Amino acid sequence: MFLSVEEIVKHYDGVRALNRISLQVRKGTVKGLMGPNGAGKSTLFHLISGMESPDSGRIWFQEREITGLRIHEISRLGVGRTFQTLQIFGNMTVVENVLTGMHMRIKGGLLSSGLSLPWIRKGEEAAMKEAKEILERLGLFGRWKWFASQLSYGEQRRLEIARGLAAKPDLLLLDEPASGLTYPEAKQLAQTLSRLKEAGLTLFLIEHHMGMVMEIADEVAVLNNGELLAEGPPDVVKKDPEVIEAYMGKK
Amino acid sequence: MVDQVHKEFRRRDLLYSGALWLLSLIIPDPQLHYRREYRFRKRDLFYLLTILLLPLIWSDPHFHHIMVLGGIHGILALGLTLFLGYAGQISLGQAAFFGIGAYTTAILTTRYGFPSFLAFWASALTAFLFAYLIGRPILKLKGYFLALATLGFGEIFLVMVRESPRLTGGVIGIFDIPFFSFAGFIFDTYLKQYYLIWGVLMGLVLFSKNLIRSKMGRAFLAVAASEDGASAVGIDVSRIKLGVFVIGAAFAGLAGSLFASVMSTANPETFSLNLSVLIVMMVILGGMGNLYGPIAGAIFLTYLIDGLSRYQEYSLPIYGVILILLLIFFPDGIGTRLRIRLIYLISYWGRKRRREKVEL
Amino acid sequence: MDIWATLPQLLSTGITFGAIYALVGLGFVTIARASQIINFAQGEFVMLGGMITFFLLNKIHLPYPLAALFAILIVVLIGFLMHLLVIYPLRKASLPILLMATLGASLFLSSTSALLFGTLPKALPPFSARAPFEIGNISVSPQSLWVLVAAFLTLFSLYLLSHRTLLGKAMEASSTDPLGADLTGISRNLMIFLAFGVSAGIGSVAGIFITPIFYVSYHSGILIGLKGFIAAALGGWGKHNGAILGGFALGVLESLSVAFIPSGYKDAIAFIVLLLILYIRPKGILGSPFIDSRRW
């Protein structure tokens, strides 16, 4: 199983955020994670990406256990993520943001970089080319020299995805990628994500934008109050009474 | 009639552009955002030539002396700028590593007869080691607490130095440190020391520039911008912070070694918190995210301190006031404000003249 | 020399010092509760309290209580001025800038004090009888008791201020939720302004109470400030009772250490404690409302 979460429990200061959650993501699919605010979706992402450790339970990625590994170790295994609160690097240019995404794939350490050895420079040139290609794919090429802080919000969101792609991950975790986007921007994003899926990337996304999720997701899981309510194809989950109750409230 | 007006404009425009170009050469990079050094530009050549030729043109030994000190401060500021200006972490302990370097050289050359060239590298190594040991636990802290921890380390260092007279000469310090010598050439005059120190500084600038332009430089900026974002792309944040810290400390160690070889004495009074504060000020005034700025800041503040010394007991209060004023008016660095203001002034002047002309 | 025999005496000295550190720590906590700023000039307020009282007593020949009172008022004024001239202009500045500014202010205050009052250490007469009295085999000077009284009175008043009065609650609100405080009409800058005054007052009180026991000189400020901060962090950063607990803990630790290591290293103890707290348990003994240990 590509990504597997087993009996995960997480408490924060006595509040139970996740209660024995188990779910799976199949390779090459798009899985949506939905639920009202406070359901524990971001917490789950924090646990998968390594920002926190679960109180109990295990997480497996590509047949390797990743529970308790540190964030950058998990990233290096091929898991990328974007953040709900947009964590781009505003102090660098657009292309540099993407280049940073390629950090693990560029060779070199502190000493060799400082001495600017010839293979460092070659690596930089190759990386620059690739970075520009990624920007092209996401429609940000024209702004490559701009500072990241100068982009519009929607463009910054795309930049964060570009940066995530630069690491050539096998799994990309997207935390509310469409939040704050206008309707046309969200549609564009959905198209981009579809294209990524076709290229072989596995996507796991948290999203409130019902329409978008229903359109591109192969499978959806719904959380509420730290419990898994339903898991399955979007059409089936949509009709699940517990899910409807969670979102709409009791009649 | 119209042609005349046009010609006037062209001359004036030339004048403004010329003035702006000259200004852009001598004022360090303006920093509205953290700006990256992309390539070597004409400006770098200009700086290089100035540094090389200045002491020959202006042969006042006092000037040389100040520039020697300024150069040493420049190395300290350069080390700190990687840590503070790029990676965004605060350290109030540069003076301690400076002291470690100075004492290492002092002890090795006076007591064990090491040649200064070897002592030079040994100082860097010692500072590197101390920074490595201290850095691992300390760098987990953020903001004020990191600043305080580095401050604490600095104070502990001073206490240790004062309480170990057999090793470090205690409060009195170590004297008669031999001048720096290399391959039989002794750097005993201010002029020679100037070239030694600025030579080392330029080498370190080259190293730093390479770092900044590489993936490591991006990693530093990433850590400053968002540690979560940096980890998410596979950057080992603690290792990067430790790396920058250690490099900054090594630079300080080198500076300390040169200082000992130039001043011939080492005593604890020099390596106080005040010096660490001064170095941080150089980085802030030079502009964060800027490589040359802090060096210019170093020269500026060295001159300032020297100029204030004539006021004797009034010098410290005045220094305190100037410090606060500089922080209030130039939080982004002097270069930024100055250039923005000058550009604005010049363009305003130009527009005013143009308006006058049109209102003929 | 029997170490164990000297311990009780050292303990009593430690408690005296501890009370001072506690007071200084309370000063830090007051400003930090209102503004998340750590005021490096706090120690200077302590120093100035003692210095100005000495000046008023010996040069202007005011009666002792009056001199003390005026000194406190003057230092509170200095605290207000520091806010207006240094902190307020930098209200939007980033952390390193603010840090440097308080350090600059500290430098200014200590060097100006050297200028105005000279560099010799000064002492003040004790408040009541000179002769120390005996408790068991420990000699306790009455002044030490005054110091303890001062510490607890201050703690009590601050507690009343921040938990019982509207003003105190306003000050805390502006620290934990600046936007919310603004929206409910609390002027954040005013709260910080007041906090500076209160901290300066506490600091000067500490200075006046401690100077009869130990000399004060223009450079005492920095060290005592740092130790006061370490005390506050040790006990639990941001909590009033944390500052008290930390103060006494640090004072006793420092004092007892003299029995085991050469006295020159005494000052280093405080910094070693600092590094230990920051490394092992940054929240401090009692825990801290300000430090999020989740992602520490």
pLDDT, residue B38, reads: 58
Does A92 reach chain B within 8 Å, measured CB to CB?
A: yes
Render pLDDT for C197-226 as a digit per residue (tens, 0 to 9): 999 999 998 888 888 878 888 888 888 888
Chain B contacts of A163, Cβ < 8 Å?
Answer: 229, 233
Q: Kind of pairing, strands A227-232 and B181-182?
A: unpaired
Tell me, what CATH number does A174's domain have? 3.40.50.300
What are the strands, taking DSSP E only, across chain B?
A: 181-182, 185-186
In a domain, A162, yes or no: no
Structure tokens at B225: 């911008």
- All domains of chain C, ordered by start, with CATH? 3-125+137-295 (1.10.3470)
- What's the farthest any 2 CA atoms get from each other in chain C? 65
Chain-centroid distance of CA C13 in Å reads 18
Chain C contacts of B331, Cβ < 8 Å?
Answer: 90, 93-94, 97
Confidence check: pLDDT of B31 > 50? no
Closest-CA distance of chain A to residue B38, Å: 11
The structure tokens 């020959």 sit at B56
Is C282 in contact with B137 (Cβ distance < 8 A)? no
Angstrom distances, CA of residue A71 to CA of A49, A55, A153: 6, 17, 26
Closest Cβ opposite residue B232 in set A49, A92, A115: A49
pLDDT, residue B32, reads: 44
Chain B contacts of C103, Cβ < 8 Å?
Answer: 277
- For B:218-247, CB contacts with A below 8 A are 218-219, 221-222, 224-226, 228-237, 243, 247
As a residue count, chain B comes to 360
Closest-CA distance of chain B to residue C185, Å: 27
Closest Cβ opposite residue B229 in set A70, A88, A149: A88
Residue of B nearest to C266 (CA): B159
Is A93 in contact with B36 (Cβ distance < 8 A)? yes
Residue of B nearest to C99 (CA): B144
Closest Cβ opposite residue C267 in set B145, B148, B159: B159
Confidence check: pLDDT of B5 > 80? no
- For C:88-147, CB contacts with B below 8 A are 89-90, 93-97, 99-101, 103-105, 107-112, 114-115
Closest-CA distance of chain C to residue A188, Å: 35
Is A71 in contact with B231 (Cβ distance < 8 A)? yes
For C288, counting Cβ atoms within 10 Å of its Cβ (0-12 exposed, 13-18 middle, 19+ buried), the class is buried
Q: What is the pLDDT along chain A (251 residues), one digit of tens a residue?
A: 788 888 888 888 778 888 888 888 888 889 998 888 877 888 889 899 888 888 888 898 988 888 888 888 999 899 999 998 889 998 888 999 999 999 988 888 888 888 888 888 888 888 989 999 998 888 888 888 888 888 888 889 989 999 999 988 999 999 988 888 888 888 888 888 888 888 888 999 998 877 788 888 888 988 888 888 888 888 888 888 877 777 766 54
Distance CA C137, CA A52 (A): 55
Residue C86 DSSP label: I
Residue of A nearest to B235 (CA): A72
More confident residue, B183 or C104: C104
Closest Cβ opposite residue B214 in set A50, A92, A124: A124
Residue of A nearest to B209 (CA): A114
Residue of C nearest to A11 (CA): C294
Q: Check if the beta carbon of residue B58 is closer than 8 Å to that of residue B191.
A: no
Angstrom distances, CA of residue C222 to CA of A23, A79, C146: 57, 49, 24
Closest C-alpha among A46, A54, A50 to residue A83: A46
Distance CA A93, CA C116 (A): 52
Chain B contacts of A76, Cβ < 8 Å?
Answer: 234
CB environment B74-92: b (16+ within 10 A), e (fewer): bbbbbbbbbbbbbbbbbbb
Distance CA B285, CA B281 (A): 6
Chain B contacts of A87, Cβ < 8 Å?
Answer: 225-226, 228-229, 232
Is B147 in contact with C114 (Cβ distance < 8 A)? no
Distance CA C180, CA B33 (A): 30
Residue of C nearest to A13 (CA): C294
Binning pLDDT at 50, 70 and 90, where does residue B339 land? low
In a domain, A106, yes or no: no
- Mutating which of A87, A121, A128, A174 best tests the B interface, going by the most B Cβ atoms within 10 A? A87
Angstrom distances, CA of residue A19 to CA of A7, A11, A244: 8, 9, 20
Render pLDDT for B242-288 as a digit per residue (tens, 0 to 9): 999 999 999 999 999 999 999 888 888 889 888 999 999 999 988 88
Lowest mean pLDDT among A7-11, B90-94, C131-135, C143-147: C131-135
Q: Check if the beta carbon of residue B283 is closer than 8 Å to that of residue B83.
A: no
Q: CB under 8 Å to C169, separation ≥6 — which residues?
A: C162, C163
Chain B contacts of C107, Cβ < 8 Å?
Answer: 274, 277, 316, 319-320, 323
Is B36 in contact with A80 (Cβ distance < 8 A)? no
Closest-CA distance of chain B to residue C276, Å: 10
Chain A contacts of B211, Cβ < 8 Å?
Answer: 110, 113-114
- For B:136-155, CB contacts with C below 8 A are 137-138, 140-141, 143-145, 147-149, 151-153, 155
Hey, which residues does A59 pair with through a beta bridge?
Answer: A5
- Subunits adjacent to chain B (3 or more Cβ pairs under 8 Å): A, C
Is C38 in contact with B280 (Cβ distance < 8 A)? no
Lowest mean pLDDT among A138-142, B244-248, B345-349, C232-236: B345-349
Lowest mean pLDDT among A130-134, B97-101, B171-175, B192-196: B171-175
Is C267 in contact with B274 (Cβ distance < 8 A)? no
In a domain, A7, yes or no: yes
Closest-CA distance of chain B to residue C36, Å: 10
How many domains does one find in chain A?
Answer: 1
Chain A contacts of C295, Cβ < 8 Å?
Answer: 51
Angstrom distances, CA of residue C111 to CA of B280, C69, C199: 20, 24, 21
For C119, counting Cβ atoms within 10 Å of its Cβ (0-12 exposed, 13-18 middle, 19+ buried), the class is exposed
Closest-CA distance of chain A to residue C195, Å: 31
Does C274 reach chain B within 8 Å, measured CB to CB?
A: yes
Residue B267 DSSP label: -
Chain A contacts of B229, Cβ < 8 Å?
Answer: 83, 87-89, 160, 163
- Subunits adjacent to chain A (3 or more Cβ pairs under 8 Å): B, C
Chain B contacts of A90, Cβ < 8 Å?
Answer: 33, 225
Identity of the residue numbered C205: V
In a domain, A72, yes or no: yes
Domain B48-299 in this protein, CATH class: mainly alpha
Does B317 reach chain C within 8 Å, measured CB to CB?
A: yes
Distance CA C170, CA C34 (A): 9
Distance CA C45, CA C132 (A): 28
Residue of B nearest to A76 (CA): B234
Query: Mean pLDDT over all residues of chain B?
Result: 84
Angstrom distances, CA of residue A23 to CA of A46, B204, B244: 15, 53, 41
Angle between helices B143-162 and C220-236 (to 10 degrees): 130
Is B331 in contact with C90 (Cβ distance < 8 A)? yes
Structure tokens at A175: 């935390």
Mean predicted confidence (pLDDT) in C135-159: 77
Q: What domain range is A173 assigned to?
A: 3-78+169-248
Distance CA A173, CA A160 (A): 12
Does C267 reach chain B within 8 Å, measured CB to CB?
A: yes
Is B36 in contact with A96 (Cβ distance < 8 A)? yes
Residue B39 DSSP label: S
pLDDT, residue C223, reads: 86
Residue of B nearest to C95 (CA): B143
Is B324 in contact with C97 (Cβ distance < 8 A)? no
Distance CA B24, CA B30 (A): 9
Is A110 in contact with B247 (Cβ distance < 8 A)? yes
Backbone conformation region of residue C147, classed left if phi is above 0, alpha if psi is from -120 to 50, else beta? alpha
Residue C136 DSSP label: T
pLDDT, residue B219, reads: 93
- Count the alpha carbons within 13 Å of B211 in the hemisphere toward its beta carbon: 28
Is A113 in contact with B210 (Cβ distance < 8 A)? yes
pTM for the complete prediction? 0.86
Distance CA C27, CA C24 (A): 5
